[in-house]
Each structure stands twice: as structure tokens, then as C-alpha cells.
Chains A and B, each alone.
Chain A
Amino acid sequence: MSIILENVNYVYMAKTPYEKTAIRNINIEIKHGEFVGIIGHTGSGKSTFLQHLNGLLKPTTGIVSVDGQDINHKGEAAQNAKRSVGMVFQYPEHQLFEETVYDDIAFGPRNIGITEDIVEIRVKKAMDFVGLGFDEYAKRTPLQLSGGQMRRVAIAGVIALDPEYLILDEPSAGLDPRGRDEIFGQIIKMYQNTGITVVLVSHNMEDIARMATRLIVMNDGEISLDGSPIEIFRDHQALLKEAGVDVPPLTILMNKLKQSGLAVDHTVVAIDAAVDSIMTNVRRD
């Protein structure tokens, strides 16, 4: 059970003066149950990479398979494989169009031919996951909600499809810190409760460091680093710099403390753990 990309290349606007290779030589396996964080600066190919995972873009060369099924083949099996990959785009609230929150979330399930009584169960479950009370919000117009609420409706619309893999492209972009914490809190909760595989793109290193079990760094269309966030932040700071991404401030602080002779644990990613580590060391001295 995994998404496998083999030698995937993608070229935008081939054979015109605007031709650009967006991603090249991507070989990767995303295993079931992983929480994969993807970072890379603008134009590094993150979004192009994501769109290959559920067949929205067909690789110029190479193969993408989900659970052993090549998703760019024709036929029912490939269609089903694609459907097991749910995709939340950047600013997903821009895709809302229905008159009620309920109908918008039900759009996906209805499209794949699910009967109305099961649709209702799915919608309720999805709204529950994103923390929108069914009774309060189901009949409201999505366009009158706040930005954070609209985004949650949009995410619920993808969750209602009951995907095995959930892909999120910058789900916190443009939200205030509170909205961001809420969204991430719900994603983590869902990851822990359902065992869904999550692939998350974010600019915020701290979030990635805190949540992801595996980190992929993209640079200029290629995967430049792939490993656990702790290892990458600890061992590959030069490569990270080259890829144009920052190490989380906490890691920088802990590294500095370590260099200056304090025996702190510089692999911690959570603020609380960092405080503990510093305090124990300070007390010991």
C-alpha cells in the first residue's frame, strides 16, 4: 500500500520558448501511514509534484502508481486508484460554489455515485473532522463564513471522499495563527485517529518539524533531501540553505546553545521539550 513514483519527469509547455522542466528524476515511495512534509522554495516543483500523485498531471516520462495500479492507465482500476488520493489545493476555499455548506461537501461523494443516505453520513463525518458543527453550519451559505471556516468546508469536501491518502498544498496559507493552529490540529487529529496517509506542503518549518514523520526537500525540480525531519535539520543545514529553506528557529537556537557548550538535546522540535532540555541543563550547571 503506497504511492510510488518512478523516474518521473514533467515538462511544462514543451516545444515552445517557454518550455520548462518542472520536476525531474523523481523516484519516491510514499508508504501507507506516513506523514510526509514537503518543503522547498517557490518554483521548486512542489505543486507539480503533488499534482502527479492523483493523476491531475500526467508525467512527461515515468510512472506513477497508487497501491500497485498505474493511475495514468485508462480504466476503472486506475480511476479508483486516483480516487483514493484526496487533494486539497492552495486556497481551497476558492473552489466553493454550492448554496449550502452541506451541498458543497456532498459534491464529491455525489459525483462518484454514492447514495444520498450514505452521502449524509459522510458529510456529517467530514464536518465533524474539521470541527464544524453539523446543525450550526450545514444549511449556511459557505460564502458568508470566515476565511478559516470556508477553508475547513473545502477540506471537508475532500475528506468526504474518504481518501486513503490526503494531500494538502499549503493548507494554512493566508490564515491567522489561530486559524492555522486549528487546521493543523484537525489534520493531526485525523492522522492519529484514522491512520490516513498525509502529504503536506508548507512553508512553515516549525509546523513540518512538529508534525511530519518524514521530510522531503525539493530544490529546482529534484528531491534534494529525504529523511526524518530531525535528521535533516540536524545534519543537512548546508543543503537546506542551498535549497532556499530555513531551519526552524528552535533548531537554530538549540544548535547555537549546543555549540556554546550547553549539553542540550538539539534534536527536539517541540517548544516544551526544548524548554525542558534547557532547564535541566541549566540546573545541572
Chain B
Amino acid sequence: MLADIMLGQYFPGKSVIHNLDPRTKIISTILFISSIFLAENYQAYSIVAIFVGAIIIIAGIPIIMILRSLKPLWIIILLTMLIHIFTTPGTAIYFLGPLTVTQEGVHLGMLMSIRLMFLIVISSLLTFTTSPVTLTDGIERLLKPFKKIGLPAHELAMMMTIALRFIPTLLEETDRIMKAQMARGADFTSGNIVRRARNLIPLLVPLFISAFRRADELATAMEARCYRGGDHRTRMKQLKVTNQDWVAYGILLLLIGLLVMVRVNK
């Protein structure tokens, strides 16, 4: 049931991509996402596709996992495609009742939905290859400069780490309480929306109680070990930018350069 939900979807591995500094991966992902908007024709798209494909292969992520990451958003992808197909003005090639399909529409719809897929795939690649804790470490370091303007970088990262840490625990708890209530005849799957919402009470009340209890215990445990925020804290795993990371940035710049060239030479 709930145990099958993918958690932060981290896919353990030892590939070059896995070993990159999380900051490199976060920055590269942001750069890559912005650079996709440079691509406007199939030529540029094939370059991007080769790049994404190469990363998937290097990272050793099974294609089924990639497809699974697209699954929750397929409706949005489809909608994007349909909206473009039906609303773009241009040469009509097909009539469907009051709607007109245009050649430009099909073209644009394809490009847009593929662009969306690239976005999703590349950001899931970030979470596939980076463990949640490493990821938050990276985010903390990246946010550090903003501390000067009052952004509580460490606290934010700590909150994220704790939240991530407790997702599996709470899921497991949910699963257990759900089963326990189902064993007492509770029904979580049928009835109208009001009824279903009401049926969730036997699940949510125990869940909240246990979440508060856990929060309380964790806070006590942290205080007992003299935790007092981010100042003067050292870390067991220091983040280090290595040559690998520079190579990664180099390759990314090359890609962006290529995309710019394709766009200019159009």
C-alpha cells in the first residue's frame, strides 16, 4: 500500500553523477532548466535529449524509474500538448467539431510537452542521484550568503532534514494505523467526499498525536545534546568541490554554448 510510495526517490549508486558535489548538481539543474528555454527546434531538442540520455546512462538509473517519475504529471503534459494543438493559430490541417488543429499547433504542442518532460526528468535525476540529507546540506551551503540579510539558512536546512527524516517514519505509522483501523472495519476507500473525509478521523487523530509526541521527544533529545542552532557547528561530511565538479560545469557550459549556437544560426 503506502510502502510502495517512492520516498525522495533516492536511487543509491556510485556513479560520477552520484558523487558530484550537491551544490554542483543543484546549480547545474537550475542552469539546465533555464537553458532548455533556449531550445526552440528539433535540432536543439535532440542535443538536449542526448545530454539527458547520457546523464541517465552514466548515473545508471533504470529507465522504468524515469518513466515512473513522469507518471504523476502526465495529465499536465497531455493538457499542455492539447491546449497548444487547439489554440495556436496557423494552417488548419484537421477539424474536430468546433476545434481546429493547426500544423503550428501540433509542432508547438510537441515541443512544449517534450520541454516539460525534460524539466521533470532532469529534476528527478537530481533527487535520484542525491540523498535527501546531502541535498539539504547543499541547499544550506548555497543559502549561506543570504544569512547576512537575515535568512535562517541553517534552521531552514535543519527543518528540511528533520522533515525528510520523518517522512518514512510517518508513512510507516500511517500505514500501520490505517491497517489497524481497517482491521476494525474502517473504510477509507468508499463513500462520497464528506463521508471519506469523516472516515479519515480515526487515521488523522492518532497520527497527529504521534507526530506531536515524536516532535517533543526529538526536541528533548536535541537539547540534551546541547543543540543550539547553526553557529560553531562542524560537520562530519565536509562538502568539497573537486575537479569532477569543474568538468561537470564545463560540460554544461558546452551544452549551453551549443544551444545558443543552434538558436543564433536558425
Contact = CB atoms under 8 A, between A and B. Distances in A.
A95 B185 contact: no
B186 A111 contact: yes
Contacts of A248: none
Contact of B185 (A12, A13, A51, A108): A108
Contacts of B182: 56
B180 A89 contact: yes
Interface stretch (B41-49, B99-107, B205-213): B205-213
A12 B2 CA distance: 11
A123 to B, nearest CB: 13
Interface class of chain B by DSSP:
helix
B31 to A, nearest CB: 29
Nearest to A109: B185
A90 B172 CA distance: 13
Contacts of B64: 15
Given A56-B179, A97-B201, A97-B202, A111 B184 contact: yes
Contacts of B179: 51, 56, 87, 89
B8 interface: no
Given A13-B3, A56-B179, A158 B184 contact: yes
Q: With a 10 A CB-CB cut-off, give which of B176, B179, B180, B186 has the most chain A CB atoms.
A: B180
A12 B181 CA distance: 22
B12 interface: yes
Q: With a 10 A CB-CB cut-off, give which of A12, A16, A92 has the most chain B CB atoms.
A: A16
Given A111-B186, A112-B185, A92 B201 contact: no
Contacts of A111: 184-187
Interface in A1-38: 12-13, 15-17
Interface string B162-194: 000000000001001101111111110000000
A96 B181 CA distance: 9
A87 B209 contact: no
B180 A92 contact: yes
A17 B183 contact: no
19 contacts: A12-B3, A13-B4, A16-B6, A16-B65, A51-B179, A56-B183, A87-B179, A89-B179, A89-B183, A90-B176, A94-B180, A95-B177, A95-B180, A97-B202, A97-B206, A107-B184, A107-B186, A108-B184, A158-B183
